[in-house]
Amino acid sequence: MRALVQRVSEAAVRVEGETVGAIGPGLLILVCAMEGDPDDAPARMAARIAKLRIFRDDAGRMNRSLLDTGGAALVVSQFTLAADTSRGNRPGFSTAAAPDRGEALYEAFAAAMVAQGVETDRGRFGADMQVSLVNDGPVTIWLDA
């Protein structure tokens, strides 16, 4: 499982002009299920992200987690995180999980974020989404599980 985590002041995702998910301060999490991901990958990734200390403490240092701040998560499926650009100019996506498996792992990840105690909103798997965000910092972290 692969994730691109962005600390945000706010973020939203729209499908066909309708807002399907939105948060205030917290994390926008673009997530991709990879071929061969074990069943426990979503829970492990969610625990790691919920405890990731990338929010400012009173001294201005990145020392607080999403759980510490009470921030929310907006989880968006993003199979293009599996892009292989090593050969030519057209990315390949063969390392991404098949759509059925990808959707199951994506839903399991969102549920695992909720189980961690994080208020979680989400995009719509497989949809053409428009994502807007105000990146705070900016802070953007790439994670592989």
Backbone torsion region of residue 88, taken as left when φ is above 0, otherwise alpha when ψ lies between -120 and 50, otherwise beta: left
Which are the catalytic amino acids?
78-80
Task: Tell whether the model's pLDDT for residue 145 goes beyond 90.
Answer: no
**What is the reported pTM?**
0.96
Pick the CATH number of 2-132 from 3.50.80.10, 3.40.640.10, 3.20.20.10, 3.40.50.920: 3.50.80.10
In sequence order, the 6+-apart residues with CB closer than 8 A to the CB of 59 are: none
- Which pLDDT tens digit goes with each residue over 10-48? 999 999 999 999 999 999 999 999 999 999 999 999 999
Q: Domain boundaries in the chain?
A: 2-132
**Average model confidence (pLDDT) across the chain:** 97
